[in-house]
Every structure is written in structure tokens, then in C-alpha cells.
Structure 1
Amino acid sequence: MNQVKFGAELISRVMDHLCSQLDGCEGVGLSVWPDGKLLKALGVAVELDAEQLTSGAGPLVEASRDERQVSGKVGGMDVVAVPGSWGDSGPVVLTVYLSHSPQVADLKAIEEIEPLIATAAAVVEFCAGEVMRADQMVRMVQHRRYIEQAKGLVMGARPSAPGEAFELLVRASQHANVKLRDVATALVLVVGGTLEDSAEEVVEPPAAAFDVARRLWEALRV
């Protein structure tokens, strides 16, 4: 089996697994941006992802544009759109359609699976001849690590489960309309002062992300 077939098969299997772990999961989709190319869709995502891609509106499009997690409704279904950053050109976006409003357990399951799906998508795109540099793959890993570190800071400041800590970061990101990865990176910098990576490898978050991180950290320490 070549890399493209392996990547596509991995995407299908992981998406199937994710949906099986979520009560009321009605479909899962995966698209690559900035082109808005639908890589894979299961269940209602076949129609609802295509509908958003055609109209240029909806949680999927919003998540791709702002590179932050977005929840909403499409076609009467609750949907969570999660961008997985893999480079400067645009994210890969995972959409999960539910028959109910997303709960903490749902967000935790999605968070755990999303990096694997994004990596499989990267394999498919790279082997299909799309441009993906090694530094883009490095940034994918960096962003995930900073989110994990930020979750650890939240759990340390206010005892909570990983899913609850992640939900708190997501809410802060959504409320301020700032990318989750930027909020997480800024929080690590606000609390620790430095990152493990050299300055040449890391793009400093915008000022708005630092504002969110400082307010969040102050609130956690009350």
C-alpha cells in the first residue's frame, strides 16, 4: 500500500473511530484550506460540509478563516469545527456533527483524535504532490505541544480534568476571537516567560492573544 492509500485509509478509520466514541455522532468531515477541498466525509457531513463549502459560510468556513474552534448549527445539526494548523497557507478543518449540543466529553474525544487525523491529511496531501515543507510539519507539532502545556497550566491553577481545561481555553479563544494556538502559546509565555523552541522557529502570538492569556491567568489564580 503506498503512502497516499495508507493516509486515506488511516483518515477513514480514525474518523470512523471518532464517531463511534461520540454519542449522537451523525457525521464527520475533513477539509483542507485555503482551497476548501473536502478530503473525506462520513454521514451527514457529506451533504453539510459540501453545503458550507459551496455557500462560503458556516462554522466550517469560519473555523478555516479564523483558525479557531467554532460551534454552531447547520441543517438542524449541532456541529463542532476544529482547525488543525499545519502551515501558513491554511488549516485542515475537522467537522463533527452531533444530535445534541457538544459536551465536555465530546470536546475531549475530538481533541484527542484531531492531531492524528490532521497528520494523516498531511500525508495524503504531501504524497499527492502538494507543497508541504518540513517546517510546516514542525509547527503542527509545536502548536499541539503548546496547547498541551497550556492545558497543564490551567489544570495546575484550577483542579480540573483535561477536557474541562481544554474547553476553558476554547471558550477564551472564541470569546476574544483569537486563535486557540495563539492563546495557548501566549499563556505558556505569560506564565513561564520562554518557550522550549528557539526564537527563529516560533512566531510570537499577537498582542490580543497575550491580553486573553493574562486575563485568563489572573482569573485562574483568584
Structure 2
Amino acid sequence: MDEVKFGGQLITRLMDHLCERLPGCRGAGLSVWPDGAVLRAVGVARELDQAQVDGQEGPLVEASRDERQVTGQVGGLDVVAVPGSWGDGGPVVLTVYLDHPPRLEDLKAIEEIEPLVATAAAVVEFCAGEVLRADQMVRMVQHRRYIEQAKGLLMGARPCPPGDAFELLVRASQHANVKLRDISMALVLVASGELEDADDMTMPPQIAFDTARRLWGAVNL
């Protein structure tokens, strides 16, 4: 990618880069719901993100409400909606529109780019308006660290690449209807018995621990 100034242009270029990496990608967007704002969008996401925000339904809304990755269909296209940073207006959701059901390689590419897009959005769109406080930024980083720790545990227990470990977490999250961050935190606690900065975090619900124990048991058979 060419050099660009840090700002809205960077977010757009990151989404353009994601679309270029994914064969059959028709667009990508970044939105906040229920705040009701489409922050950035390229391709068909300009129209389809706004339609979901206005209609208050669809994968974008589900991902924001449940704070977990959601797949579905909008406008005849397959959609992957991934919630990222958490601000007062709700999670920032990255939507990716494909002309085919998402494949493992698609999810891997989204996993690599999404943290960059979400972090850039948090700094550019939120911090500038003082909507995202410093403590919220710290929690966002903590959530991501727990997800990475959980992936590392799965990769060690069941030798596999990062994308496969992430897919295991996502499937467990979707099957139990539990937030990805909660599954990840619970898995770290189940596997290691401790959680860094636990005193500053809200503990996951019991269903997250039950799901994490089943997942940890399955990969250690």
C-alpha cells in the first residue's frame, strides 16, 4: 500500500487492502450500532451497512448487540460481521461482503486486518471526540490480549495455525451464543488458573466457563 496520512484515509485504505486480498469481496464497512453511524465504507457496504443500521437488523446489528462474530446474508451477498473496539456508542463492527460463503482463508485475512481497522477507528473517529476514554482503550487492548492468549493455548494443545485456533474460538462462541472475549477469558482461566489484570475485568458468565471447559477438554483428548 502507498503511504497515507493517519486518519480516515488510512481506514479506507485498510478496507481497500482487505477487499483486494479476498477474491469475490464486494465491499467492506465500519459501523456503530445502536449509535446508528456508518463510519467508513467501500463498495456495496456503503448501501448495505446503512440499510442494516436504518432497519435495525442484520448481521451488523447482531454482531454489535451480541459482541460476537456473525455471518449471514444481505442483499444476496454473504456477510462476515466482526465487532471490534468498544466505545460508549457500542462496538465498532467491521462488515465484509462476499459473493460466496466465507472460507477459512477469508476468515484468516479478516482476522489479520480487523484489529488494525478497529484500532485506527478507535483513535481517529472516537478519541478525537473524546468518546472513547483511556480506560475503555485499555479494556479494548486487554480483550484482544485474552483472545490472543486463548489462541496460543489452543495452538499448543492441538498443533494448528493461528487461523484454525481462532476458528475454534469463533465456533464455540457462536454455538453457545457467548461473546468471543468471554470465551477467551474463560479458556485462559480454565487452562492456566489465572488471568492477567483480572481485578480490572468483569468475569465471564458461567456458560462461558462451561463452554471453555468442553473446548479445552476436546482439544486435549
TM-score, length basis structure 1: 0.93
Tell me: higher relative CO, structure 1 or 2? Use CA pairs within 8 A at least 6 residues apart.
1
Matched ranges for 1:85-164 at <5 A: 85-87=85-87, 89-164=89-164
Tell me the CA shift for residue 21 of structure 1.
0.9
Corresponding residue number in structure 1 for 2:31: 31
1:71-108, Cα deviation, whole Å (9 max, x unpaired): 01111100000001324652000000011111111111
For 1:56, the equivalent position in structure 2 comes to 56
How far residue 33 of structure 1 moved from its aligned partner, in angstroms, is: 3.4
Q: Which amino acid aligns with 2:85?
A: S
SS in structure 2 at match of 1:41: strand
Q: 1:127 to 1:153 in 2, by over 3 A?
A: closer
Residue 76 of structure 2 corresponds to residue 73 of structure 1: no
Gaps of 5+ in 2: none
SS in 1 for 2:90: coil
Could you tell me how far apart the structure 2 residues matched to 1:127 and 1:57 are? Answer: 27
Deviation at 1:130, TM superposition (A): 4.1
SS of residue in 2 equivalent to 1:27: strand
C-alpha contact (below 8 Å) 2:33/2:61 kept by paired residues: no
Measure the CA separation in 2 of the matches of 1:185 and 1:136: 17
Aligned equivalents of 2:36, 2:154: Cα separation in 1:
34
TM-superposed deviation, 1:198: 4.6
CA RMSD between the two structures: 1.4
Quote the residue 2:15 is aligned against.
15
Task: Provide, for residues 98-150 of structure 1, a one-character-per-residue CA deviation record: whole Å limited to 9, x for no partner.
Answer: 11111111111111111111111112233542421111111111111111111
Alignment match, 1:214: 213
Mapped to 2, the partners of 1:89 and 1:38 lie a distance apart of 12
Render the CA deviation track for 1:148-194: whole Å, top value 9, x for unaligned. 11111111111211111111110100011100011011100110111
Q: 1:144, 1:188 → 2: CA distance?
A: 13
For the residue of structure 2 that corresponds to 1:6, the secondary structure is coil
CA distance in 2, matches of 1:89, 1:35: 5
Rounded to whole Å, the distance in 1 between the matches of 2:74 and 2:54 is 13
Of the structure 1 ranges 118-127 and 63-72, higher mean CA displacement relative to structure 2 is found in: 118-127
Maintained 8 Å contact 1:87/1:139: no
Offset at residue 29 of structure 1 (A) = 0.4
Q: Percent identity?
A: 75
The one-letter code sitting in structure 1 at the alignment partner of 2:94 is L
Structure 1 distance, partners of 2:103, 2:184, is 21
Q: Give the aligned length.
A: 217
Whether the aligned pair in 1 keeps the contact of 2:87 and 2:131 (CA below 8 Å) is no
Hey, what does 2:202 align to over in structure 1? Answer: 203
Q: Distance in 2 between the 1:188 and 1:87 partners?
A: 25
What TM-score does the superposition give when structure 2 sets the normalisation length?
Answer: 0.94
Unmatched runs of 5 consecutive residues or more in structure 1: none
